[in-house]
Amino acid sequence: MSINSDLHLNFCTKSNVGSTESCETTPLLQNGTVQTRATGASFASSVFNLMNAIMGSGILGLAYAMASTGIVGFSVLLVLVASLASYSIHLLLRLCDLTGINSYEELGEKALKKPGKIMVGIAIVAQNIGAMSSYLFILKSELPAAICSFLSTENTENAWYADGRLLLILVTVCVVLPLAMFPKIGFLGYTSSLSFIFIVYFAIVVVVKKWSIPCPLPHNGTKLTSTFKISNASDSECTPKLFIMSVRSAYAIPTMAFAFLCHTAILPIYCELERPSKSRMQNVSNIGIGLSFLLYFISALFGYLTFYGHVESELLLGYNAYLPRDIMVMTVRVAILLSVLLTVPLIHFPARKAVTLLLFEGRGFSWRIHITSTLILLSVVLMLAIFVPDIRNVFGVVGSTMSSCLLFVFPGIFYLKISNQPLRSIDSAGALILVVFGVIMGAISLTVIIVTWIMNS
Task: Say what the alpha-carbon torsion angle 15, 19, 25, 31 is, to the nearest 10 degrees.
Answer: 100
Q: Measuring CA to CA, which residue among 148, 102, 123 is closest to residue 320?
A: 148
Per residue in 324-359, pLDDT tens?
Answer: 778 888 888 888 888 788 778 877 887 888 888 888
Q: Measuring CA to CA, which residue among 39, 38, 34, 36 is closest to residue 4?
A: 34
Q: How many Å apart are CA 46 and CA 128, to the nearest integer?
A: 19
pTM check: above 0.85: no
Query: What confidence category does residue 1 fall into, taking pLDDT thresholds of 50, 70 and 90?
Result: very low
Indicate the SS3 state at residue 25. Answer: strand
Section 148-154 average pLDDT: 69
Q: What is the secondary structure of 328-359 as a DSSP string?
A: HHHHHHHHHHHHHHHHHHHHHHHHHHHHHHHH
Q: How many Å apart are CA 36 and CA 373, to the nearest integer?
A: 23
Which helix (H) or strand (E) element contains residue 23?
A: strand 21-27
Topology annotation, domain 42-456 = Amino acid/polyamine transporter I (1.20.1740)
Integer angstrom CA distances of residue 301 from 109, 206, 323, 329: 41, 9, 19, 18
Section 387-401 average pLDDT: 70
Section 286-301 average pLDDT: 91
pLDDT at position 60: 81
Count CA within 13 A, CB hemisphere, residue 90.
15
Q: What is the secondary structure of 349-407 as a DSSP string?
A: HHHHHHHHHHHSTT----HHHHHHHHHHHHHHHHHHHHH---HHHHHHHHIIIIIHIII
pLDDT at position 22: 35
Q: Of residues 309 and 3, which shows the higher confidence score?
A: 309
Per residue in 421-437, pLDDT tens?
Answer: 888 888 899 999 999 98
Q: What is the secondary structure of 442-455 as a DSSP string?
A: HHHHHHHHHHHHHH
Per residue in 73-93, pLDDT tens?
Answer: 999 999 998 999 899 999 988
Which helix (H) or strand (E) element contains residue 53?
A: helix 43-54
- 252 pLDDT exceeds 50? yes
Mean pLDDT for the chain overall: 77
Per residue in 167-226, pLDDT tens?
Answer: 888 988 988 888 888 777 655 556 666 777 888 888 898 998 888 887 777 654 444 443
Q: How many Å apart are CA 106 and CA 441, to the nearest integer?
A: 26
- 38 pLDDT exceeds 50? no
Q: How many Å apart are CA 58 and CA 280, to the nearest integer?
A: 26
Q: What is the secondary structure of 127-168 as a DSSP string?
A: HHHHHHHHHHHHHHHHHHHHHHHHHT-S--TTSGGG-HHHHH
Integer angstrom CA distances of residue 208 from 199, 271, 311, 431: 14, 40, 17, 41
What residue segments make up the domains of the chain, in order of their start?
42-456
